[in-house]
Amino acid sequence: MEIKKIAILFQSTNKVPIEFEERHLDMIRQTVPGVNVVRAYTESELLPGDLDADVLITWGQYSPVEFCTKATNLKWIHAVSAGIEGLTIPEIMSLDAVMSNTKGIHGIPMAEHTMALILASLRQLPVLLKQQQEKVWLKHKPDETQGKTVGIIGLGSIGEEVAKKCKLFGMKVVATKRTPVACEWVDELYPDHQLDKLLCQADFVVVVVPLTPETTKLIGEKEFKLMKKTAYIINIARGKVIDEKALVKALQDGDIGGAGLDCVEDEPLPQDSPLWDMPNVIITPHTAADSPFYMDRAMNQFCESLKKFINNQDILNKINKNKGY
């Protein structure tokens, strides 16, 4: 398939502190010699001069409806993120263009972030850091990973990396997956509808599922009641997968032991949220996937897919428009 122009729509921000550098554009040019690569920071920059683009590379939270609907040559929309909530709107999903996202590159940083949250909670680091600020020398009873059980909700590529690291730390690993397939790092694997079996035995519940209509508020009051009173829930997926009001209540009532939250329903977390002041809650500003190697990995994957696309082969991580992911 002939590709003459590829448009990139992306703006680095404090929330998304990654950038397309010139070497990334060169990677595309080397993959398709002679291709015109256009770099834009806003949708208006692509209108009307670049409506002849064959491919759009963008961030999955963007919704460039006007460009996508007017770009008559548009054959492929690719997100350099895993999440594609901004693109899964009717105006874009109904187009003939194929869609894809970026998967398989987030596992290392997100698994490391998960382990950091687990270890911080077990070793009482939030309390100790607060004591340091107050110049207080006081011991607290720590715990360790050995013999603990982690439950991973959503055993995709990220979930498998989390499972691997947890297993290396001596933890038992249980997980859920829509279609269970054996994994060497998982001791027990359940289909989605058997989530209860995971919740009742896990010391740490790690949420890694994508946000879809089916997973919105997947974890609510009923699920928190099933968890151990000492269990922590860790969310490195999307904030809306957890019913935040139910989470706050579960923490206040002592139904669960604590939480590690890399994402919340409304970001940034409102100043009046009670989560800020809870000593058993660790909050990070949606940084689990951040890495200095992010864009290098993302563009390597895109260029691999681009080779397939121009040779009329199936691209990587093609979005199923019926499922929305």
To the query of whether residue 286 is one of the catalytic residues in this protein, the response is yes
Q: Is 97 exposed, middle or buried (0-12, 13-18, 19+ CB in 10 A)?
A: middle
User: From the CB of residue 153, how many other CB atoms can be counted at a distance below 10 Å?
Assistant: 29
Closest CA to 120 of 279, 236, 289, 292: 279
267 is catalytic: yes
Decide if 223 contacts 197 (C-beta within 8 A).
no
Given 113, 161, 238, 244, the catalytic residue: 238
Contacts of 245 (CB under 8 A, 6+ apart): none
Choosing from 21, 144, 267, 304, the catalytic residue is 267
Tell me which of 29, 286, 297, 304 is the catalytic residue: 286
Measured CA to CA in angstroms, residue 265 lies from 241, 261, 269, 301 at distances of 8, 10, 8, 30
Question: Dihedrals φ, ψ of 77, to 5°?
Answer: -115, 120
Q: What is the CA radius of gyration of the chain?
A: 21
From residue 277, alpha-carbon distances to 51, 126, 206, 247 in Å are: 49, 12, 22, 14
Q: Is 252 helix (H, G, I), strand (E, B) or coil?
A: helix
Are 7 and 55 within 8 A, CB to CB?
A: yes
Report the interhelical angle of 22-31 vs 294-310 (nearest 10°). Answer: 20
Which residues are identified as catalytic?
238, 267, 286
